[in-house]
Structure 1
Amino acid sequence: MDLSQAIEQANAFVFPGFLTDDDSLTQERSKNEEAIKVLTDAWKAAPLGREPFSFDLVRGLADRNRDICDRYGIERLRNTNGLNLARRLSDADLIHGVATLQHRTDEEVARVSGPTAADLGIAYIDAPVWGAVVGIDLETSDREPDRGYVINVGLEFMNLTPTAKPTNPYSAYCGMPEMYAEKGVPLSEIHHITWKDLEGVPPLRQNPKMQKAILAALTAFPYMAHNAAFEDSWFMLNVDGYAEARKAGKIVPIDTRDICRRVDPEVRLLPRETHPATLENWARRRGTLSKNEKERHLGLEDVDLMLATVQAEFSERKMFPGQREED
């Protein structure tokens, strides 16, 4: 699919209620998701302020695709990978994240890490990290941001010091279409969120006040998330203004999973199949989660755990200002 075809697909007048058989629903979903990918790539690649279309076009197509997936049966797509969930942040994003935490330029960090971030672990400990961040975590009804719904948001703020405590915690549920009252909330075996939690709550896409609040938090400070590419992908297609602010450099995602992989030396010594960089396993090694506890997989609780674990890791590696001078 080329760009003109993708724009045509996004502008097509399709009424999902007219698509009743599996073949037509599957074909429409496939075309939608390919178009979202093509449009997103083209929009990102265009010079700032000279994009060939508004990103509202992409978000609108994602909204339409969720309706298609609901009608088809999202549970039938559980093992079908989509096109619009990024698996990792780009090397440039990772370098910029370190530079932001260290209040240095990207060029200074890249001189240490290399342009492909091969030595980013060295760059992390090359200068102190300091300043305020917002930690955030999403619980969703699907892995793919153009198929499912954000159903829980947790965030709080923290200064990067050895003894700081998070402040201004915020937690909220977001709803889903009424059909899930009977079908049940997808992935509830992971996040344990049920229809009772969501009943009567508007979906995030229909809650502009919540979208504005999230956007305000993410533009105020760099945000940390464990596997930040996940949150980044979901915000792109679910929060009005996020894509635009991200492209303009007003939003800086920082991936704490990448921090774990780069900074914690134990990761390289543990078998890959033990998943040493998951938040739960990392937290157990840093003592922020006991051996008998498990990660909650609920927004605010996971943010608490993530920030405490980052703080413990940074303290152990003496990454805060003044720690090395004290030796």
Structure 2
Amino acid sequence: MNTQQALDYAYAFYIPEFIFGGGYEVMEAERQKGEEALKALVAAWNEGQDTSFGFDVVRELGDRNRALCDAIGESRLRNTASSVLARSLSDRDICQGIATMQGRTLASVEREVRGDRNALGVAYVREKVSGTVLGIDIETTGTAPERGYIINVGWELMDLTSTAVPRDGEAHFFGLPENPYKETGVPLENIHHISWSDIEGKPLFREDRELQARLLDLMTSHPIMAHNAAFEDSWFMMHLEGYAEARREGKIVVIDSRDICRRLDGEVVSLPRESAPAALENWARRRGTLAENEAERHQGLEDTDLMLRTVQAEFNRKSMFAA
């Protein structure tokens, strides 16, 4: 499906009662068509191929798809790959994150790296880092932003100094549609331990526009840092009003602490891949920010705090701070 076909699909008259009443096969066919359109539109937006449409079209199509997936059933889609979840940040994004922390231009870092990903580790330590970052982590009902929901967001600010303490932390929980989740329960509860009682009566993240506005203001004021930041980036693209637009305009800078771990922690390459050495929990244990008998909480604020303190410990080991 090309961009125009995807737009034609998004703008076409949609009658949910007809789709939902057609049974599983009709709903599944519609889901596949909708997600193909989403994939085409997100790709066109990210690549700057087409500026004839606003990203609100994509978010609304995501909302439509989410309701359809609820009707199909989360369990039926659990092993179906997402059409819009990015696996990693682009090299340009990584270079921009380095440049922002070091007070340099993107062009200067890209010239230094020259397309060689192996040179990124050197670029991280080329100059001292400073400034303030917004650490953030989300908990969701799955891995596909076009199907699932954000149910928890936690964030903190931290100055990039050797002794800074994360500050101004906040944690917020968000609801799910009563049908079907009040009966079926919260997906992935075994991981994030968020139950229906934690979110009952709370607004959906997509509907909490006041909090979204606050969050977007923070994100455009400070570079954001997350572990496996492509995950948060993909979810905010689909769920946070104005995020995709600000991101494309260069008003939001995303820094991936998992990439920092992989580039700076020499132990990562020597440990078995199946041990997930770059996972936050394992990295934090190696850096002493998480005790051996402790486990990662898998909730937004707690994981954000752990990430920021672990990044600080890694930067201290490499003497990367300006002050």
2:215 is the counterpart of 1:204: no
Rounded Cα–Cα distance in structure 2 between residues aligned with 1:65 and 1:169: 33
1:39 shift after superposition: 1.0
Identify the residue that residue 268 of structure 2 maps to in structure 1. Answer: 267
Say how many residue pairs are matched: 320
Identify the residue that residue 38 of structure 1 maps to in structure 2. Answer: 40
State whether residues 175 and 201 of structure 1, in contact with CA within 8 Å, keep that contact through their aligned partners in structure 2: yes
1:116 shift after superposition: 4.1
1:45 shift after superposition: 2.9
State whether residues 110 and 117 of structure 1, in contact with CA within 8 Å, keep that contact through their aligned partners in structure 2: no
Rounded Cα–Cα distance in structure 2 between residues aligned with 1:256 and 1:285: 15
Rounded Cα–Cα distance in structure 2 between residues aligned with 1:204 and 1:296: 21
Whichever residue aligns with residue 205 of structure 1, its letter is R
> How high is the TM-score relative to the length of structure 2?
0.97
Most deviating of 17-26 and 125-134: 17-26
State whether residues 222 and 252 of structure 1, in contact with CA within 8 Å, keep that contact through their aligned partners in structure 2: yes
Rounded Cα–Cα distance in structure 1 between residues aligned with 2:251 and 2:7: 27
2:20 is the counterpart of 1:29: no
State whether residues 136 and 223 of structure 1, in contact with CA within 8 Å, keep that contact through their aligned partners in structure 2: yes
Whichever residue aligns with residue 39 of structure 2, its letter is K
Identify the residue that residue 137 of structure 1 maps to in structure 2. Answer: 137
Identify the residue that residue 121 of structure 1 maps to in structure 2. Answer: 121
2:287 is the counterpart of 1:283: no
Identify the residue that residue 166 of structure 2 maps to in structure 1. Answer: 166
1:3 shift after superposition: 1.6
Structure 1 residues 149-298: aligned runs within 5 Å = 149-179=149-179, 180-298=181-299
Rounded Cα–Cα distance in structure 2 between residues aligned with 1:270 and 1:140: 29
State whether residues 112 and 122 of structure 1, in contact with CA within 8 Å, keep that contact through their aligned partners in structure 2: no
Rounded Cα–Cα distance in structure 1 between residues aligned with 2:6 and 2:74: 23
Rounded Cα–Cα distance in structure 2 between residues aligned with 1:299 and 1:286: 20
4+ runs of 1 displaced by more than 3 Å? none
Identify the residue that residue 325 of structure 1 maps to in structure 2. Answer: none
State whether residues 224 and 256 of structure 1, in contact with CA within 8 Å, keep that contact through their aligned partners in structure 2: yes
Rounded Cα–Cα distance in structure 2 between residues aligned with 1:158 and 1:167: 6
Alignment partner of 1:176: what SS? coil
Rounded Cα–Cα distance in structure 1 between residues aligned with 2:83 and 2:230: 13
Identify the residue that residue 303 of structure 2 maps to in structure 1. Answer: 302
Rounded Cα–Cα distance in structure 1 between residues aligned with 2:307 and 2:228: 11
Rounded Cα–Cα distance in structure 1 between residues aligned with 2:260 and 2:42: 27
Alignment partner of 2:117: what SS? coil
Whichever residue aligns with residue 227 of structure 2, its letter is H
CA deviations 1:104-162 (Å, max 9, x no partner) are 11222223322243310011111111110000000000100000000000001010111
Alignment partner of 1:65: what SS? helix
Alignment partner of 1:125: what SS? helix
> How high is the TM-score relative to the length of structure 1?
0.95
State whether residues 91 and 116 of structure 1, in contact with CA within 8 Å, keep that contact through their aligned partners in structure 2: no
Alignment partner of 1:118: what SS? helix
CA deviations 1:169-201 (Å, max 9, x no partner) are 111001110121111000111101000011000
State whether residues 113 and 121 of structure 1, in contact with CA within 8 Å, keep that contact through their aligned partners in structure 2: no
Alignment partner of 1:164: what SS? coil
Alignment partner of 1:170: what SS? strand
Most deviating of 112-121 and 69-78: 112-121
State whether residues 114 and 120 of structure 1, in contact with CA within 8 Å, keep that contact through their aligned partners in structure 2: no
Rounded Cα–Cα distance in structure 1 between residues aligned with 2:46 and 2:283: 33
Whichever residue aligns with residue 23 of structure 1, its letter is E
* Identity in percent: 54
Structure 1 residues 55-94: aligned runs within 5 Å = 55-94=55-94
Over the aligned positions, Cα root-mean-square deviation in angstroms equals 1.2
1:220 shift after superposition: 0.8
Whichever residue aligns with residue 277 of structure 1, its letter is A
Rounded Cα–Cα distance in structure 2 between residues aligned with 1:74 and 1:17: 19
Rounded Cα–Cα distance in structure 2 between residues aligned with 1:55 and 1:110: 28
Whichever residue aligns with residue 211 of structure 1, its letter is Q
Alignment partner of 1:53: what SS? coil
Rounded Cα–Cα distance in structure 2 between residues aligned with 1:155 and 1:90: 23
Identify the residue that residue 321 of structure 2 maps to in structure 1. Answer: 320
Most deviating of 98-107 and 247-256: 98-107
Most deviating of 100-109 and 190-199: 100-109
